[in-house]
Chains A and B, each alone.
Chain A
Amino acid sequence: MRDIACAGYVAGGNTLFFADDGDGKMSATRAATNLMERLSFANDVGAKYGSMLAFPSTAQQFSSGYLDTVMSVTTRLLPWEVTSATGGTHSSFPGGQKVFEEYQKALNLRSIHFGEDMKAAENQDFISQVFKNAQTPHCGPCAEPRLP
């Protein structure tokens, strides 16, 4: 089926939940495993991987302005979340900081950035050395390209 996908498509654009074990049953353990398999291409590049995560939220969080057009799904914060004296919290994450901590544990979200060359990123050696996994989904469906 990938023959009809966008030219240059690699992965991550289907509608399978990471938590899905293939039988419609969902579990966080399965999600954590599938997440890492996807990011490391554990089953070859052309294999079928999950793409989606689901989180609880409320209209109040959207109207509060904390979650409007962008969120961070990893341990890294958005630029405007790091300004507090305590180091910042995941206010943009659906459900807020405490919910993020739960999902961080259950899905091992901190591992998303494992293997990245932080020094190369800081030196802006983007083109030659750095590959970063995405951390900031934007409000869809018009996903905005993000600097690598």
Chain B
Amino acid sequence: MLTRNSQVGEFYVLQPPQVDPTDGDIANKGKGKFTCDALIYDEESDRHVRITWEQALKACCIKDNEVAPATNLSHPTKMMMASTIPGDQKSLKGWKDKADEWTAFNNGTGDVAYSQLDTDIRIVIARPFIEHLMHSVIMAVSGRDTGATLFGPADMQLSANTQVKTIEGACCARARTHSALHPWWPSPPPAAERTNRGAQATTRATSRPSSPSPRTCL
């Protein structure tokens, strides 16, 4: 079987709690701990690993000389747009300020009440190059779905050539394959044209009991 390296990719979305875990009381900020984290499966160590909001935010690399904080987002949040700080409405800086507040909340140290936090902030974690050695298979139909192959008439002749002391043979056979497959219909075909219906009668005697297709068992 053909084996080759293949990659798959996946992404996860970190989001802050959409329901207030502190019950509206800033004194309960300890209840907000770990509420923004995610557990992601680590295949190399065969366990789930906690990815904290703070880690993910740092991995976004939003700072000067890296990913410019002045860059504008295509879809800023409502709370970002309501900001009165010039340039913060759409920028990554405005987004990061909101995300930093969640970092403190997630660490149980925040002084901002839940109602003042921006619950629309998200962090996308992408794992794009998960690579395995994978097998490839070729799938095909089987049984009568492949069509019927008819042989004949076959002819075989042998003759002796005494001059060169050899025996010569000639064989002739004809084969014709009738495919019952139709390429594709934009809508269900008429009953008479359906595979194994109408002209192509299939009986219990000619059907293949081991065939997985129920159509061959009339």
Contact = CB atoms under 8 A, between A and B. Distances in A.
B74 A97 contact: yes
Contact of B76 (A27, A58, A148): A58
Interface string B48-85: 01010001111111100011100111111110100000
A5 to B, nearest CB: 5
B132 A66 contact: no
Interface in A115-148: 127, 131-146, 148
A141 B120 contact: no
Given A17-B59, A27-B66, A60-B75, A127 B15 contact: no
A97 B15 CA distance: 22
Residue of A24, A25, A48, A60 with most partner-chain B CB within 10 A = A60
A101 B156 CA distance: 74
A137 B99 contact: no
Contacts of A96: 73-75
B33 interface: no
Contact of A54 (B5, B8, B80, B124): B124
Contacts, number: 233
Interface residues of B, number: 63
Nearest to A103: B67
Nearest to B7: A134
Contact of B8 (A39, A64, A144): A144
B77 A59 contact: yes
Residue of B13, B95, B123, B126 with most partner-chain A CB within 10 A = B126
B96 A56 contact: yes
A62 interface: yes
B8 to A, nearest CB: 4
B46 interface: yes
19 contacts: A2-B44, A9-B43, A12-B129, A18-B59, A19-B58, A39-B129, A51-B130, A52-B59, A52-B127, A57-B75, A58-B120, A98-B73, A134-B7, A134-B8, A137-B128, A139-B13, A141-B12, A143-B8, A148-B7
Interface of B: 2-13, 15, 40-46, 49, 51, 55-62, 66-68, 71-78, 80, 92, 95-96, 99, 119-134, 136
